[in-house]
Structure 1
Amino acid sequence: MELKTQARQTHPAVVILITLVAVLMGFQVVGPMIGFFVALPFYPGTLLEMTEALKDPTSDPNMKVPLYLMQGFGTLFGLILVPMFLLTRFHESLTDLFRKAIPVQAALLIGLIVMVFMITNSFFIEWNKDIHLPSGIEEWAKSTEEQLGELTEYLTSFDSQAQVFLALIVIAVLPAIGEELVFRGIIQREFFRASNNIHLAIWTSAAIFSAIHLQFYGFVPRMLLGALFGYVYYWSGNLWIPVLAHFINNGFTVIAMYLYQQGSVKMDIESSEAAPWPAVAGCGVATVLLLYIFKKMYEKHKATELLNNTNEDHTTLVP
């Protein structure tokens, strides 16, 4: 991960605060409002009827596509367009974040890393699910979890392949770009600029990334996933890498849920039960080894790139 060399006037804390407030407003208010009007033609009722249905959307089967569109526009506006605008205001260039292609070897490696990490992370999913909190906080956390879980179940109970495709766009493609742009492309970089400690920057950004989902009983596994995205971004210096990892994680989940509902596979990927401990342990070791290979691959790549640039500079000096 590289920061721009030119002097920056805005303090990192200000950039982070403005980013979080603007993103939340865009994601929770402005984007869904735009999505609401875009979704009106897809609802078999009037504007007032659709507004009323929003009070309890999971009880109305006709609200599924409108909810996809509202969530999609929320992500597009709040997590992609707003951060892009903020980057230009803070004198950052989008080409600095997305300037590199992903080598085939790196893409394959990232796919393997995400898959084995999902099995390793199942241990933390089960462990986090069983944590007990003080009574008042636990009631609030469980209530919030149940509401979000009910909405997720509603949106991922697919009635057609068209809904699966729409879900891939809304749940996998847009969040992969938007959340990585915000949490790795802006927030992690700003924490690094403030602290000059990459581990602090990665884990703090990952914690915020997890907390903003408002699902405490998935906080730790989601934070670990965010840290994974943070490290592969730091080592590669290419934001497309965590975007790809994020997309594989979310996209695989959507496809696996659809296949489970169709009876094509027996594994329920939404289960909070951990994989057998030999699989968790083996995949944990595999995750570490694959991350080590990934890190070394990019260290070698950067060394080669530096050498080539040095040779080019020397060539231009020859009369």
Structure 2
Amino acid sequence: MEQEIGPRTVHPAIVIIVMLVAVMLGFQVIGPMIGFFVALPLYPGSLMEMTESLKEPMKDPEMKNTLYLMQGFGTFFGLILVPLYVLAKFHRSASTLFKGPMYIQPVVLVVGIVMIFMMVNSMFIEWNQNITFPESIEKWARGTEEQLAELTKYLTKFDSGGQVALALVVIAILPAIGEELVFRGIIQREFYRGTNNIHVAIWVSAAIFSAIHVQFYGFVPRMLLGALFGYLYYWSGNLWMPILAHFINNGFTVVAMYLYQRGTVEMDIEDAKAAPWSAVLTSAVITVALLYLFKKFYEKRTPADFVNNTNSDNATLIQ
């Protein structure tokens, strides 16, 4: 009889490598391919015309919804379905990641933490934008950054409320679930299982999370966000907390861009200029205070309320 693979018999490095390879395959190849064919009936042209437009999609306004669908299916397939399948193969249950009671207090705290941390992170965004690399790396990095920036600008110039709703699904909801499942629920847990050091697990996972976006001039602020999500997960033991934080961050950005384009608000959230130092320092103090309240809230939960609901695979993040 074949011996079942238990949760601790597979080395964490193997789980992480297999997961990342599978995720990239699903996210970059299989998922977008499915999205392409789903979008085909919606495109006012032939298969060949749509394929040709895909080479330079920003020149064809009809390609915007196609790109949304390709990205959406890439995220859904590559960051949700594939990781769940790989987890099952390693005999790990994903259901335990989402267990645990939901309380209104930490939900409110998460909303405040994310919104106020944006002010703090503006300083790192401006700093990271102005980093210089050796000339050979600089040329490649800037070129990659500009291409992604142009594509982002194209996708986030909304023509209707329907596109905003679609963008919220593709940019906010699906990535919040998929990226937190992969980078916090799986990779962070595996790093912790391998190192027994939660801070190493959180920061290395956050660095990988930032690196896969291939935006070097936004690496540090995105890594800080990843670390923030990591600590929210560690302290609460409930993956819904970083998912909520991730959704608020992305969703607020989409809505703010739409309102700016309509002239409803004057703040351009895409502006990389940092907030005034006084605002940054005040926001940093408030963020730390809210994080402290969040952490203390879960420390007061009894095992019956919390720990027993978050234990899973003998590799729980709660001590």
Q: Same fold (TM over 0.5)?
A: yes
Once residues 308 and 20 of structure 2 are traced to their aligned partners in structure 1, the CA distance between those partners, rounded to angstroms, is: 39
Partner of 1:181: 181
The letter of the residue matching 1:18 is: V
- CA distance in 2 between partners of 1:167 and 1:182 (Å): 21
C-alpha displacement of 1:103: 1.2
Where do 5+ consecutive residues of structure 2 fail to align?
A: 1-5, 310-319
C-alpha separation between the residues in 1 aligned to 2:69 and 2:305? 43
Matched, 1:100 2:95: no
d(CA) in 1 for partners of 2:255, 2:94: 31
* Per-residue CA distance 1:96-141 (angstroms, 9 max, x = gap): 1011242111111100000000110000000000000000111111
SS in 1 for 2:301: helix
Kindly indicate which of the two structures has a greater share of residues assigned to helix. 1
Q: Distance in 2 between matches of 1:306 and 1:171?
A: 31
The reply to whether residue 280 of structure 1 matches residue 280 of structure 2 is: yes
| Structure 2 partner of 1:148 | 148
In the aligned structure 2, how far is the partner of 1:118 from the partner of 1:26? 31
Provide the secondary structure at the position in 2 that maps to 1:271.
coil
* Equivalenced residues, count: 304
- Structure 1 residues 305, 94: closer, same or farther in 2, change over 3 A? same
- Residue type of the partner of 2:208? I
The residue that corresponds to 1:211 in the other structure is 211
**How far does residue 303 in structure 1 lie from its aligned partner after superposition?**
5.4
C-alpha deviations, 1:199-245, integer Å up to 9, x for none?
Answer: 00000000000000000000000000000000000000000000000
Contact 1:101 1:240 in 2 (8 A): no
Per the alignment, residue 157 of structure 1 pairs with 157
Paired residues of 2:7 and 2:91 also in contact (CA < 8 A): no
Q: Given that residues 253 and 269 in structure 2 are in contact (C-alpha distance below 8 angstroms), is that contact kept between their aligned partners in structure 1?
A: yes
Amino acid corresponding to residue 223 of structure 1 in structure 2: M
- The residue aligned with 1:314 is none
Q: Runs of 4 or more off by more than 2 Å in structure 1? A: 302-309
Q: SS of 1:110's equivalent?
A: helix
User: What does residue 133 of structure 1 align with?
Assistant: 133
Structure-2 change in CA distance of 1:7 and 1:68 (3 Å):
closer
Cα deviation, residue 91, structure 1 = 1.3
> Counterparts of 2:58 and 2:148 in 1: how far apart (Å)?
11
Secondary structure (helix, strand or coil) at the match of 2:133 reads: coil
Q: Distance in 1 between matches of 2:217 and 2:306?
A: 45
Equivalent residues in 2 for 1:142-291 (5 A)? Answer: 142-291=142-291
Q: Is the 8 A contact 2:100 2:306 kept in 1?
A: no
The C-alpha deviation readout for 1:173-192, integer Å capped at 9, x for no partner, is 00000000000011000000
Secondary structure in structure 2 of the residue aligned to 1:301: coil
Render the CA deviation track for 1:66-115: whole Å, top value 9, x for unaligned: 00000000000000000011111111112210112421111111000000
SS in 1 for 2:300: helix
Q: Percent identity?
A: 68
Mapped to 2, the partners of 1:254 and 1:196 lie a distance apart of: 37
Residue 87 of structure 1 contacts residue 94 of structure 1 at CA under 8 Å; is this kept in 2?
Answer: yes
* RMSD value, Cα: 1.4
Aligned to 1:61, the other structure's residue is in SS state: coil
- Secondary structure at the aligned position of 1:44 is classed as coil
Q: Tell me the SS of whatever aligns to 2:275.
A: coil
The residue number in structure 1 matching 2:45 is 45
Amino acid corresponding to residue 256 of structure 1 in structure 2? A
CA distance in 2, matches of 1:94, 1:272: 37
Residue 227 of structure 1 aligns with an amino acid whose one-letter code is A
Give me the whole-angstrom Cα distance separating, in 1, the residues matched to 2:308 and 2:237: 18
Correspondences of 1:3-18 after superposition (within 5 Å) = 7-18=7-18
Give the equivalent residue in structure 2 for 1:109. Answer: 109
Equivalent in the alignment of 1:31: 31
1:138-173 CA-partner distances (Å, limit 9, x unpaired): 111100000000000000000000000000000000
Deviation at 1:305, TM superposition (A): 3.0
1:40-79 CA distance string (max 9 Å, x none): 1121110000000010101111000000000000000000
